[in-house]
């Protein structure tokens, strides 16, 4: 009978086990998920409740709206820019120029809100970004924390200014492709009136990935709230109307499902599904079904889009990125590497803000 301990191979394997485990395990274990604590959840509920209550209060007292999107005021509507970041806002100098509109009759037609992951220390913000950081929580890619962060931004903007009529979600890797005035006229001009002030949100339903994404939390887990035929996908970067922004922070039903952790992390991008699914269930005709934030998915690696580097930056690139197959030109583009700041600043006034 052969004793195990006499086998020369076994001690070697036992000695190597920790090393093998170290080499193999990290490739199979998903990164630890950031949980949403019940304290955070209660805070958000209170914030969303306060925002919707305030809106309905204003709405009641000022029923004569100048916008069907639900602004409760006769003064010029504003755009709320919602910056979602977990690193330095490296392009803030370009945005500071973008917002420095001195030739519009009422230049103060926007508000800025920043959600910045508090576990990451970012460089202090200046210009129009000074003191614009809202109470933020940890965020993590491919997790419901990104949905929470966007909803927190929306609620903060609704609470802050009843004139906020459109809500544009922007990432730290986004840059503008047109002037602020051009964007403003696109959202509120005559053409927008004819379109009924839609939300510019991508809503796709024929993507091959949808089945795996739908079942990422387990088979049939999304039922009964969301049937597979109601499940949608689209870019997280949207520009939505006040009416739809309110729907997003009023929702409890879909959030109960979308906040669940994924079993299949490879198919877990809740932030790309929650908003298009919710708004297409609620008001499909009110959604353009396309986004006005340009992104290049050609040769994407690990779910990251193509990144533009300084040598790519040119007037031609800006003109190309503006071109769309929809009735609205692209207003923003991502992703740009941080060192694109200088070449982009050089063409800001002469190209980017010349519409
Ligand atoms: C909501 O309003 C209540 C009453 O004014 C206040 O006590 C609470 O702190 C507010 N919640 C948030 C998250 O700001
Ligand atoms: C806006 O532009 C004016 C004039 O160029 C400048 O003095 C001011 O500092 C700018 N404001 C911001 C916030 O960048
Ligand atoms: C004023 O802004 C408009 C766009 O809103 C632009 O077409 C025009 O060139 C600007 N004028 C000056 C003097 O900057
Ligand atoms: C998906 O739908 C879009 C818009 O209707 C269409 O352009 C595209 O060809 C469709 N893709 C597939 C794979 O069916
Ligand atoms: C967006 O797509 C939905 C569902 O396909 C459709 O009902 C709606 O009319 C579309 N929106 C526009 C503005 O065409
Ligand atoms: C998109 O990215 C690919 C490479 O990934 C590049 O060849 C192409 O020029 C880019 N398209 C645009 C419009 O920038
Ligand atoms: C517009 O559609 C054409 C034909 O499908 C396509 O080749 C082109 O890349 C599209 N342009 C943009 C900006 O998406």
Distance (Å, whole) CA 166 – CA 245? 8
Q: Which helix (H) or strand (E) holds 201?
A: strand 199-202
Atom of ligand 6 nearest to the CA of 296: 1
Distance (Å, whole) CA 295 – CA 298? 9
pTM, rounded to two decimals: 0.87
Distance (Å, whole) CA 336 – CA 33? 27
Does the beta carbon of 54 lie inside 6 Å of ligand 1? Answer: no
Distance (Å, whole) CA 255 – CA 332? 28
Nearest residue (by CA) to ligand 6, atom 6, is 298
Nearest residue (by CA) to ligand 5, atom 10, is 285
- From ligand 5's centre to the CA of 194, what distance in Å? 16
Long-range contacts (CB closer than 8 Å, 24 or more residues apart) made by 17-26:
none
Atom of ligand 3 nearest to the CA of 355: 7
Distance (Å, whole) CA 95 – CA 353? 11
Q: Which helix (H) or strand (E) holds 17?
A: helix 9-28
pLDDT of residue 58: 74
Distance (Å, whole) CA 128 – CA 125? 8
Nearest residue (by CA) to ligand 2, atom 9, is 127
Domain ranges in the chain are 38-352
| Number of H-type helices and E-type strands within the chain | 12, 9
Atom of ligand 5 nearest to the CA of 205: 5
Atom of ligand 7 nearest to the CA of 323: 13
Residue among 293, 294, 297, 298 to mutate when testing ligand 6 (max atoms within 8 A of CB): 298
Atom of ligand 2 nearest to the CA of 97: 14
Nearest residue (by CA) to ligand 6, atom 7, is 298
Does the beta carbon of 86 lie inside 6 Å of ligand 5? Answer: no
Please tell me the number of the ligand nearest to residue 323's CA.
7
Please tell me the number of the ligand nearest to residue 95's CA.
2
pLDDT of residue 61: 46
Please tell me the number of the ligand nearest to residue 125's CA.
2
pLDDT of residue 73: 44
Residue among 177, 323, 325, 331 to mutate when testing ligand 7 (max atoms within 8 A of CB): 325
SS3 label, residue 349: helix
The answer to whether the CB of 210 falls within 8 A of the CB of 305 is no
Nearest residue (by CA) to ligand 1, atom 3, is 50
Please tell me the number of the ligand nearest to residue 152's CA.
1
In 3D space, the residue among 91, 95, 123, 146 whose CA is nearest the CA of residue 274 turns out to be: 146
Q: Which class does domain 38-352 fall in?
A: alpha beta
The list of the chain residues with pLDDT below 70 reads 1-32, 59-74, 102-107
- Give the Cβ contact number of residue 217 at 10 Å: 20
pLDDT of residue 105: 60
pLDDT of residue 69: 42
pLDDT of residue 106: 56
pLDDT of residue 260: 93
Q: What is the largest CA-CA distance in the chain?
A: 96
SS3 label, residue 304: strand
Q: How many residues does the chain have?
A: 355
pLDDT of residue 107: 64
pLDDT of residue 37: 87
What letter would DSSP give residue 246?
H
- From ligand 1's centre to the CA of 43, what distance in Å? 9
Atom of ligand 3 nearest to the CA of 185: 5
In 3D space, the residue among 201, 172, 79, 85 whose CA is nearest the CA of residue 134 turns out to be: 85
Does the beta carbon of 3 lie inside 6 Å of ligand 3? Answer: no
Distance (Å, whole) CA 273 – CA 332? 21
Distance (Å, whole) CA 39 – CA 37? 5
Pocket of ligand 7 (CB under 6 A): 323-325
Distance (Å, whole) CA 306 – CA 303? 10
Distance (Å, whole) CA 40 – CA 144? 13
Residue among 103, 352, 354 to mutate when testing ligand 3 (max atoms within 8 A of CB): 103
> What are the b/e assignments for 76-114, b being 16+ CB within 10 Å?
bbbbbbbbbbbebbbbbbbbebbbebeeeeeeebbbbbb
């Amino acid at each position: 009978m052969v004793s195990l301990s006499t086998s020369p191979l076994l001690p070697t394997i036992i000695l190597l086990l920790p090393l093998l485990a170290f080499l193999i395990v990290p490739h199979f274990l998903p990164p630890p998920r950031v949980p949403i604590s019940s304290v955070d959840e209660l805070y958000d509920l209170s914030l969303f409740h306060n925002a919707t209550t305030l809106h309905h209060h204003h709405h009641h007292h000022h029923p004569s709206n100048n916008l069907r999107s639900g602004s409760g005021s006769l003064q010029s509507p504003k755009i709320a820019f919602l910056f979602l970041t977990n690193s330095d806002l490296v392009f803030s100098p370009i945005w500071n120029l973008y917002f420095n509109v001195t030739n519009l009759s009422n230049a103060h037609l926007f508000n800025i809100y920043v959600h910045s992951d508090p576990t990451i220390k970012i460089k202090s913000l200046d210009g129009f970004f000074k003191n614009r950081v809202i109470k933020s929580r940890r965020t993590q890619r491919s997790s419901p924390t990104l949905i929470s962060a966007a909803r927190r931004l929306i609620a903060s903007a609704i609470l802050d200014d009843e004139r906020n009529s459109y809500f544009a979600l922007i990432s730290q890797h986004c840059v503008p492709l047109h002037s602020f005035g051009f964007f403003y006229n696109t959202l509120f001009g005559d053409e927008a009136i004819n379109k009924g002030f839609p939300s510019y949100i991508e809503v796709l339903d024929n993507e091959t990935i949808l089945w795996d994404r739908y079942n990422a939390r387990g088979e049939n887990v999304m039922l009964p709230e969301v049937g597979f035929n109601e499940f949608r996908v689209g870019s997280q970067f949207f520009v939505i109307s006040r009416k739809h922004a309110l729907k997003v922070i009023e929702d409890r039903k879909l959030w109960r499902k979308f906040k669940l952790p994924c079993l299949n992390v490879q198919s877990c991008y809740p932030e790309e599904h929650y908003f298009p699914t919710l708004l297409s269930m609620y008001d499909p005709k009110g959604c353009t079904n396309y986004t006005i934030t340009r992104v290049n998915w050609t040769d994407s690696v690990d779910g990251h889009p193509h990144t533009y580097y300084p040598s790519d930056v040119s007037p031609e690139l800006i003109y190309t990125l503006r071109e769309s197959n929809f009735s609205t030109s692209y207003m923003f583009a991502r992703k740009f590497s941080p060192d694109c700041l200088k070449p982009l600043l050089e063409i800001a006034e002469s190209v980017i803000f010349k519409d």
